[in-house]
Amino acid sequence: MRAFLAVDLDEKLQDNVSKVQKRIMEVNAPIKFVETENLHFTLKFLGEISNSKVEDLTVMIEDKIVEYQPFELSIKKTGFFPHSGYIKVIWLGVENPEAYSHIQMDLDEEFVKLGFRKEKSYIPHLTIARVKGAKNKEALISIIKEMENVSIGDMIVDKLVLKESELTPAGPIYSNLKEFKL
CATH of the domain at 20: 3.90.1140.10
Range 82-98 average pLDDT? 94
Q: What is the pLDDT of residue 171?
A: 85
Q: Which of 9, 33, 40, 128 is catalytic?
A: 40
Total domains present in the chain = 1
| CA distances (Å), origin 154, targets 12, 33, 36, 73, 85 | 9, 22, 17, 6, 31
Chain-centre distance for alpha carbon 3: 13
Query: In this structure, how many other beta carbons lie within 10 angstroms of the beta carbon of residue 75?
Result: 23
Q: What is the pLDDT of residue 83?
A: 92
Sheet holding 31-33, edge to edge: 31-33, 125-131, 86-95, 71-83, 151-157
Kindly tell me if the per-residue pLDDT of 151 is higher than 90: yes
pTM of full prediction above 0.85: yes
Could you tell me the residue range of the domain that residue 44 belongs to?
A: 2-181
Q: What is the pLDDT of residue 134?
A: 85
Which phi and psi angles does 117 have, rounded to 5°? -75, 140
Q: What percent of the chain has pLDDT over 70?
A: 100
Neighbouring-strand partners of residue 81? 89
Asked if 162 contacts 5 with a C-beta cutoff of 8 angstroms, the reply is: yes
Q: Is 125 a catalytic residue?
A: yes
Can you say whether residue 73 is alpha, beta or left, with left for phi > 0 and alpha for psi between -120 and 50 degrees? Answer: beta
pLDDT band of 99, cuts 50, 70, 90: very high
Q: Is 83 a catalytic residue?
A: no
Q: What is the pLDDT of residue 152?
A: 98
pLDDT band of 160, cuts 50, 70, 90: very high
Q: Which of 34, 125, 128, 157 is catalytic?
A: 125
pLDDT band of 150, cuts 50, 70, 90: very high
Range 125-142 average pLDDT? 94
Q: What is the tens place of the pLDDT at every residue in 19-38?
A: 999 999 999 999 999 999 99
Q: How many residues does the chain have?
A: 182
Which of 37, 36, 35, 41 shows the shortest CA–CA distance to 4?
Answer: 41
